[in-house]
Every structure is written in structure tokens, then in C-alpha cells.
């Protein structure tokens, strides 16, 4: 396609993901599964990975009810040795990887002065190191050689701000997500030369399996402080994930976008 033709693309054409292959880590439930649905709706072929085989099977069955045939791979991204085989499975099955949604993550709640080292390592190893290794493998194996890629890192507003102890004590999670924010900027700077755009989404408080405990304590307070006076929904990330995965993001890179009802704006 010529540059002139690209400039004349309609909005629908820019957001069309037909022919693209997307890998979503932590894609068996919650935000990851919602984003997989959104990308597939726009035409992408989908691969999802997660630690638990039963949750992946449930996700695959759910997606099938929507007419989506997803490739599923069991992989624990906190274990570096599982990453290259997982990426190889996606490439050998689907040909290449155009879109990488780095969504896998975990948290641990404890006051900083009592936070166990083992728990710190567990959070950092998955949220930050695992994300780096998956991205490196996908970049080397598929995106850099093909001079094309869309990488979307799912960070958090916890990576943009701290918290009072009565609201949240999760310093490892805050640190990992803050690292992911600047990982996004640094990688955008390095890999722009390869035609790869890298952006991050920072969700606010969205009810999920991981956030259920803390929201049970502070949901009313969060809603009161949020300009839109509401919690987020899983679907609130879908259209943004589609945009950042599409031709519509060709000139958007290194950006950190909060989806939080305005909580970090005030």
C-alpha cells in the first residue's frame, strides 16, 4: 500500500485487525479475556496464555460461544524457561505475532516494613521480568524481523502514584507497575526504528478476582474521589486496546494512558 493510500484510510480500515495475530498474556480471565474478545471482534487471530490449564479451557470455551477460535498455551511467565517455547508455539501455529498485550500480573498486600522478600520477588518476577522476557522474545522472533509491531503493556494507576496505608499496602505491585511505565517509554525509544509502537494502559479500580479484596474495603471511597463517580468495567479497556493495536496507533508510541474515571487527574 502506498503512503498516499495509507493517508486516505477510513477510520474503519485503520481499526480493522483482519490478518493480524495477537498474543495476550494473562488472557484466561478478567481484563485479558475482555481484550482478547475486543481484538478478535475486530478481526485479529488470538492466542492467550496463562498459568492454569482449567482457566484457559474455560476461556477457550467462552470465546468459542462468541465465534472466536483462540489458541491457548499454558505458561508461567515467572519461569523464564517457559517463555521461548510458548512464543514458538504461537509462531509455529499462527505464523507470526503482530500484537502483544502484556497483561499477566499478580500482587501481594503487606506493609512495606513487613513485606516478605519472597513475595517481592514473586511480584517483580512476573509483572516486570516476565513482561520484559516475553517482549524480548516476541521482538526478536517476529516483530523486529518483520519491521512491524504493536505492544500494549497493562500497567496500573498504582504505577503512577502511591497510596495511603489505610487504602492499599502493596509496595511490590506499585514498584513493578511503575517500572512497567518507564519500560514502555524506554522500549518505544529503542524499537521505534523497527516500526514497533509501544504504549501502556493504566487501569484504575476495576472489579476483578485480583482486586475484589481491596475493593471490598475501599470501593465507596474510590467512587467518591473519582470525577466520574464510578468504578471501571472490563469493557472499558477494549476499545483502547484495539486502537493501540491497530494502524490507528501508527503515530502513537511511548504513551501512558490512565483508564480510571479521572482519579489520577485530580
Instruction: Convert the pLDDT of each residue in 37-81 to its tens digit.
Output: 999 999 999 999 999 999 999 999 999 999 999 999 999 999 999
Q: Quote the Cα angle for 183-187-193, to 5°.
A: 170
Contact 189, 253 (CB under 8 A): no
CA distance 40 to 242: 9
Model confidence pLDDT, tens digit, residues 13-45 = 999 999 999 999 999 999 999 999 999 999 999
CA distance 118 to 114: 12
At 219 the pLDDT is 92
* DSSP assignment letter at 110: B
- Among candidate residues 16, 91, 173, 202, the one labeled active-site is 173
C-alpha distances (whole Å) from 51 to each of 37, 42, 95, 164 are 19, 26, 23, 32
C-alpha distances (whole Å) from 128 to each of 3, 27, 106, 140, 183 are 37, 17, 10, 18, 9
Q: What's the chain's average pLDDT?
A: 95
**Domain extents in the chain:** 9-265
Catalytic (active site) residue 173: yes
CATH code for the structural domain at 9-265? 3.40.50.720
At 215 the pLDDT is 83
Query: What pTM was estimated for this model as a whole?
Result: 0.95
Amino acid at each position: 500500500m502506498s503512503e498516499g493510500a495509507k493517508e486516505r484510510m477510513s477510520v474503519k480500515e485503520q481499526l480493522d485487525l483482519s490478518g493480524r495475530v495477537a498474543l495476550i498474556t494473562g488472557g484466561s480471565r478478567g481484563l485479558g479475556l475482555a481484550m482478547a474478545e475486543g481484538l478478535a471482534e475486530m478481526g485479529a487471530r488470538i492466542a492467550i496464555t496463562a498459568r492454569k490449564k482449567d482457566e484457559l479451557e474455560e476461556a477457550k470455551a467462552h470465546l468459542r460461544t462468541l465465534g472466536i477460535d483462540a489458541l491457548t498455551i499454558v505458561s508461567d511467565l515467572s519461569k523464564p524457561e517457559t517463555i521461548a517455547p510458548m512464543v514458538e508455539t504461537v509462531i509455529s501455529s499462527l505464523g507470526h505475532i503482530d500484537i502483544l498485550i502484556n497483561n499477566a500480573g499478580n500482587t501481594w498486600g503487606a506493609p512495606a516494613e513487613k513485606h516478605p522478600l519472597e513475595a517481592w520477588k514473586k511480584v517483580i518476577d512476573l509483572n516486570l521480568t516476565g513482561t520484559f522476557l516475553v517482549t524480548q522474545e516476541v521482538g526478536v522472533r517476529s516483530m523486529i524481523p518483520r519491521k512491524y509491531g504493536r505492544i500494549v503493556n497493562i500497567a496500573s494507576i498504582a504505577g503512577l502514584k502511591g497510596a495511603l496505608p489505610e487504602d492499599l499496602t502493596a509496595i511490590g505491585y506499585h514498584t513493578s507497575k511503575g517500572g512497567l511505565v518507564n519500560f514502555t517509554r524506554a522500549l518505544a525509544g529503542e524499537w521505534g526504528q523497527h516500526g514497533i509502537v509501544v504504549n501502556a494502559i493504566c487501569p484504575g479500580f476495576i472489579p476483578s478476582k485480583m482486586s475484589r479484596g481491596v475493593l471490598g474495603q475501599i470501593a465507596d471511597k474510590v467512587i467518591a474521589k473519582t470525577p466520574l463517580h464510578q468504578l471501571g468495567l472490563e469493557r472499558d479497556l477494549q476499545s483502547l486496546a484495539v486502537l493501540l493495536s491497530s494502524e490507528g496507533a501508527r503515530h502513537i508510541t511511548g504513551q501512558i494512558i490512565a483508564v480510571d474515571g479521572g482519579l489520577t487527574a485530580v
